[in-house]
Amino acid sequence: MPGIARDETNRQINRRDVAVAAGLFALAVAVFANSIGHGFVWDDMPVIAENPFLISAGAWWRCFARDFGLEITRQPVGYYRPLVFVSFVLNSGIGGLRPFAYHLTNILLHGLNTVLVFWLIARLAGRTCGWLGAAVFAVHPVHAESVAFIAGRSDLLCALFLLLTVLATLQTLAARGGARIGWSAAALVAYAVALLSKELAVALPGVLLLCGLIHRDRLRSLLQLCAPTALLAVAYLAFRLKFFPMTGFAPSGAPMEGSVVVRAVHLLFSYAAQQTFPVIPTLGAEIPARHPWVDAMAVALLVLIVVIARPRRLAADAGAWLVLFLAPTLCVNLFKGVELSDRFAYVPSVGISALAALAAARFWERVPLSRLVVPVVLVAFAALSVLFSGMWRDEVSLWTAAVRYHPRCGRCFYNLGNAYWDEGELTGAARMLLRATRLLPDEERRCWAYSNLAHILDEAGEEELAIQAARSAIQLRPYRPPIRRFLASILSEQGRHDEAIAELKAVESFAPKEGEVQLDLAREYLDTNPPQRQLARQAYGRARELGVPRDEAIEAVLESPPPNR
């Protein structure tokens, strides 16, 4: 691996790096400071705001035995990220469940990562490349999701400790004696924390190996560079396979159409656009909108940066970081249908930032125009970052922006409809959910869209439309007791007790142990004209046998003498 740059300009790095690092930290914090007043959005709700685990006794150490996926999918999926939860527990201990402390932590983590990017690139390529690359990293619009979205903290923490691992590894190679042992231990500790922050960290040994091969290191140097982290990664994977296997993913539901090659090309274009021409944020869309002109511009810029970047070996190092840290996400996107997301590009973007710095540094001293172009690009990126970060202010803001950028995304319309519903905007909620029923690619979520639409229409006083929506949900998933019970309640309110009884009997046929259904049946039998007291008594008896608490109103009616005919 290369040593620190030795030219006259960059010999001053040790005297100026603190001031430069402070300026870069301030830049990163300032760009995303508008997110500090945001609320909880999207997965922040189940992970933090509605999660009693964070304030339970001993939560900080019980995080190490908990599946991260439980908070989002309510079932184990093999996402083992205890350090992320430890940070949430610490936030909750400092500021409770108020979002301010969580957002501030994300912003500060991004600032620290920016400083580490500066030190890493400056260590390898000199101070000019260092501050250029760190400035790009600080303001890159693709980072808006990782910084403004609290649940995206796993990428921030993973990046922080991966960068510390690489810096400590470089110090290990340069040190001697006891200092080498100390730096090697520090690198292993940092890497262990990175692995406990996100699974993506397993790619680091491959990055180090490829960089060593690029610089034609000898076998002994390669082993010193890669072996410690590789052994720790193998141990981590064995632990995960034994105790927290990735038994499931959270598929987006997007149709996986076309061959693997076609989908791979599509994803590569998407990631190229994320890294070099980030004008369309993903914003949680499972089917991000694609624009040919954006893809063409992104690929052209990426090719131009790669061609211009010098020296070649350092450019290859940056490319190795970019490609190998994108590879795990690309595979999951490609074969499991998990959505493309801006936050997955946070760690790989260190590579594109370094490539951009190597390309810009070639002309920084020799071409005066470059001193105008670079600030213009940084200002444009910063403006986009402020814009994209502001979209994460609240649920309505997020999903309104999402449907504007991704008009074919059913999930975005579904979530916007639910956000309007929470705000009491029933007309807007119904309109968005109706659109979602036409765009959602899978029957499961279309069923829930129709179900929510039925509740909203019922609240709005549109009972007949609510009945139609509920029946549409039942057609998609006929064996869902809550939907049929809700339809029965609407029918009962309209006095259509026979139809309500038919729905409840249908539930009884496939869920005979649902005691609440028997209680509903007892009420419906008593509401018919004339009341069917014997059937009501039988249904109420079954409800009590199934453990339903006593209902004094029903018992009073059953115990009273029948009315005279």
Over residues 294-321, the pLDDT tens digits come to 878 888 888 899 899 888 999 999 999 9
Contact between residue 199 and residue 331 where contact means Cβ atoms under 8 Å apart? no
Dist CA 377 CA 231 (whole Å): 41
pLDDT of 267 > 80? The answer is no
| Token duo for residue 380 | 């444009």
* 3-state DSSP assignment of residue 85: helix
Asked which of 123-132, 416-425, 447-456 is least confident by mean pLDDT, the reply is 123-132
| Token duo for residue 6 | 């030795």
Dist CA 512 CA 228 (whole Å): 58
The pLDDT tens digits of the residues spanning 394-418 come to: 999 999 999 999 999 999 999 999 9
Contact between residue 48 and residue 150 where contact means Cβ atoms under 8 Å apart? yes
Helix H or strand E segment including 306: helix 292-308
The pLDDT tens digits of the residues spanning 338-368 come to: 567 899 999 999 999 999 999 999 888 778 8
DSSP states of 203-226 = GHHHHHHHHHHHTT--HHHHHHHH
Res 6: pLDDT:
40
Dist CA 480 CA 500 (whole Å): 15
Average pLDDT, the chain: 87
C-alpha 447: how far from its chain's center? 24
The pLDDT tens digits of the residues spanning 361-387 come to: 988 877 887 788 999 999 999 999 999
Res 74: pLDDT:
65
| Token duo for residue 17 | 């790096």
Asked which of 198-212, 238-252, 396-410, 419-433 is least confident by mean pLDDT, the reply is 238-252
Dist CA 5 CA 129 (whole Å): 10
Dist CA 285 CA 447 (whole Å): 19
Nearest to 182 by CA among 172, 191, 197, 196: 172
The pLDDT tens digits of the residues spanning 31-54 come to: 999 999 999 999 898 888 888 888
The pLDDT tens digits of the residues spanning 60-73 come to: 788 888 777 766 66
Phi and psi at residue 115, in whole multiples of 5°? -60, -40
* 3-state DSSP assignment of residue 512: coil
From residue 290, how far is each of 274, 276, 452 by CA, in Å?
A: 11, 15, 30
Res 10: pLDDT:
44
pLDDT of 4 > 90? The answer is no
| Token duo for residue 222 | 């390669």
From residue 39, how far is each of 42, 113, 148, 395, 541 by CA, in Å?
A: 10, 23, 10, 9, 48
At residue 259 the predicted structure's pLDDT band, cuts being 50, 70 and 90, is: low
Quick one: average pLDDT of 465-473? 96
Sign of CA dihedral 305, 310, 316, 317: negative
Task: Select the more confidently predicted residue: 456 or 298.
Answer: 456
Task: Select the more confidently predicted residue: 232 or 242.
Answer: 232
| Token duo for residue 124 | 């390898």
Contact between residue 21 and residue 115 where contact means Cβ atoms under 8 Å apart? yes
Dist CA 201 CA 162 (whole Å): 7
pLDDT of 504 > 90? The answer is yes
Asked which of 3-12, 142-151, 207-216, 322-331 is least confident by mean pLDDT, the reply is 3-12
Contact between residue 106 and residue 87 where contact means Cβ atoms under 8 Å apart? no
pLDDT of 250 > 70? The answer is no
pLDDT of 265 > 80? The answer is no
pLDDT of 532 > 70? The answer is yes
Res 8: pLDDT:
40
Which residue reads 């903290």 in tokens? Answer: 153
Dist CA 355 CA 557 (whole Å): 79
What domains are defined for the chain?
A: 9-390 (no CATH), 412-559 (1.25.40.10)
Res 7: pLDDT:
43
Question: Which 8-state DSSP code applies to residue 125?
Answer: H
Res 546: pLDDT:
92
Q: What is the pTM of this model?
A: 0.89
* 3-state DSSP assignment of residue 424: coil
Contact between residue 320 and residue 88 where contact means Cβ atoms under 8 Å apart? no
The pLDDT tens digits of the residues spanning 73-113 come to: 666 677 789 999 999 999 988 888 889 999 999 999 999 99
Contact between residue 350 and residue 118 where contact means Cβ atoms under 8 Å apart? no
From residue 58, how far is each of 51, 89, 98, 99 by CA, in Å?
A: 14, 10, 20, 22
pLDDT of 9 > 80? The answer is no
User: What's the first-to-final CA gap in the chain, in angstroms?
Assistant: 98
DSSP states of 267-289 = HHHHHHHHHH---S--TT-SS--
